[in-house]
Amino acid sequence: MSTILQIDASARKTDSVTRALTESLVKTLIGKDPDAKVLVRDVSQGLPYLDEEWVGANFTDPARRSAEQRMKLAFSDTLVSELKSADTIVIGTPIYNFSVPAALKAWIDQIARARETFVYSENGPIGLLEDKRAYVLVASGGTKVGSEIDFASTYLEHVLGFVGIKDVTIVAADQLMADPANRDAALAKTLELAA
């Protein structure tokens, strides 16, 4: 049985393009694999930001962590566990001010952990989350995805690769303020991707 991790980052609950895209793609994936388990993580209400205690706990050898340090990392451990258990990751995110929403950045900070999702080697970092597929569904009002002012999709592709997820597909519903039809084209593409 496969597991799909659906991550929604849009602050909008209704009329959200990225939520419509993630819902469409996940339904299509389930249609191909009816036994798939779906984990939904809505980060839009905000996640804890890293602080000094979190960083100290994270850099402490796991065998030497205090009860307080383990508690400080408990939520991060849950997010990492969700990501590790997933075969497919579906991330729906708008572009806010040329980048990802702060809540999605907070999720990334919580899951990008040495010894958990990557390790350092003499040749640099090595991602530990291989053999996973990710779909990044991006919406924007004016920013063209893949352009020199898009710091969202390129960042997400890099971060996913950093933790070992190299099979990343980006679907753009971009420049919607200029051409609302881009939404329908992106929805159609989500159906093609899973076919």
97-127, pLDDT tens digit by residue?
999 999 999 999 999 999 999 999 999 999 9
φ and ψ at residue 99, rounded to 5 degrees: -140, -170
Question: pTM value?
Answer: 0.93
The two beta strands, 133-139 and 88-94, are parallel
Share of the chain above pLDDT 70, in %: 99
Cβ 14 vs Cβ 181: under 8 Å: no
User: Beta-carbon neighbour count of residue 81 at 10 Å?
Assistant: 13
Token pair 């899951």: residue: 111
Cα distances from 72 to residues 58, 114, 116, 152, in angstroms, run 9, 16, 16, 28
- The mean of the pLDDT values for the chain is 94
Instruction: Please tell me the predicted confidence (pLDDT) of residue 195.
Output: 60
- Asked whether the predicted pLDDT for residue 85 surpasses 90, the reply is yes
Instruction: Please tell me the predicted confidence (pLDDT) of residue 182.
Output: 75
Q: What is the pLDDT of residues 130-188, one digit of tens each?
A: 999 999 999 998 898 999 999 999 999 999 999 999 999 999 888 888 877 777 777 77
